[in-house]
Amino acid sequence: MEQKKIESLTGKWLYEEDYGYGNAKGELLLKQEGRKLSGKIIFSENVDDNETFMIQEILEGEIVLNRIRLKAIEYDIIHADYEIRYELDSWDGMLINETTIEGDSLDDQGVSGSFKFEKVVD
């Protein structure tokens, strides 16, 4: 069976993640050049009963076959009502179809979760 060539992942993706004691929702802006991926993810995170805060992370990564790997290389706190110490995230997922990536995330503190990126189609 011939493997289908993946169209460009460049574009805007909606982001949702659940990691047991909280969740995150936002947008991923992705750029693909060959196998290399880069971009940024902006999201609100809600941990337990704490107030929601907003983070932006700058990403780099790659695509190999239908496997997507992204890793944050820096972050900015866009909004927080209290002081937070944030750990960089990484995402390891599968391209389910042209508009859906699902997989597992892990931050530098060892907290893991499940995520979904859904491409916003014009």
For the chain, which residues make up each domain, given as ranges? 11-119
Long-range contact set of residues 114-117: C-beta below 8 Å, sequence gap at least 24: 114/17, 114/18, 114/19, 115/15, 115/16, 115/17, 115/91, 116/15, 116/16, 116/17, 117/13, 117/14, 117/15, 117/28, 117/93
pLDDT above 70: residue 2: no
**CATH C-level class of 11-119:** mainly beta
Mean pLDDT (the chain, rounded): 90
pLDDT above 70: residue 4: no
pLDDT above 50: residue 3: no
pLDDT tens digit sequence for 21-57: 789 999 999 999 999 999 999 999 887 777 789 999 9
| pLDDT of amino acid 1 | 40
pTM, two decimals, is 0.88
